[in-house]
Amino acid sequence: MGISAYNWNKSGAWCSPYDSGPWCELPHLLTHDLVNAPTIYDVYSERKPFMVAETGSVEDTTSPERKGQWLQNADARIPTEVANVRALTYFDVDLTATESTNWRLDTLVYF
């Protein structure tokens, strides 16, 4: 079983009640929805191999190191908060020309 989970950093993001503003941490993208219904992760991850088939984070223009911290947080939190994730693929593509979004890892700033 696989799912796509992106941090778009836009208002109205479905993880907003759980994170600060529109910024969505990866575990919350998998385990929370606005109506408290079970997510795909909740339903399938205990009985089928589960992977995050596509994931990525946009930049936070007010905090340049935040995208790098998002990945570090995912690495630290997956084993405890979404422990049934068996694989993860990062969407390392620059779509700035067509969608004004750059998912590439080379834009990361580590502190």
pLDDT on residue 100: 87
What beta strand segments (E) does 1-111 contain?
2-7, 50-57, 85-90, 94-95, 101-102
Which two structure tokens, joined as six digits, stand for 14?
């479905």
Q: Are 22 and 11 in contact (CB under 8 A)?
A: yes
Tell me the Cα Rg of the chain.
14
Whichever domain contains 58, its CATH number is 3.20.20.80
Mean pLDDT per block of 10 residues along the chain (111 residues) reads 91 63 86 76 94 94 88 94 96 92 77 48
Cβ-based neighbour number of residue 9 at 10 Å: 20
Compute the distance between CA of residue 17 and CA of residue 36 in angstroms, rounded to an integer.
11
Q: Are 84 and 45 in contact (CB under 8 A)?
A: yes
Q: Does this model's pTM top 0.75?
A: yes
Segments forming the whole domain that contains residue 95: 2-107
Which two structure tokens, joined as six digits, stand for 71?
């990945």
pLDDT on residue 57: 93
pLDDT on residue 97: 94
pLDDT on residue 34: 60
pLDDT on residue 22: 84
pLDDT on residue 7: 92
pLDDT on residue 65: 86
How many domains in the chain? 1
Which two structure tokens, joined as six digits, stand for 80?
């405890």
Compute the distance between CA of residue 92 and CA of residue 46 in angstroms, rounded to an integer.
28
pLDDT on residue 79: 96
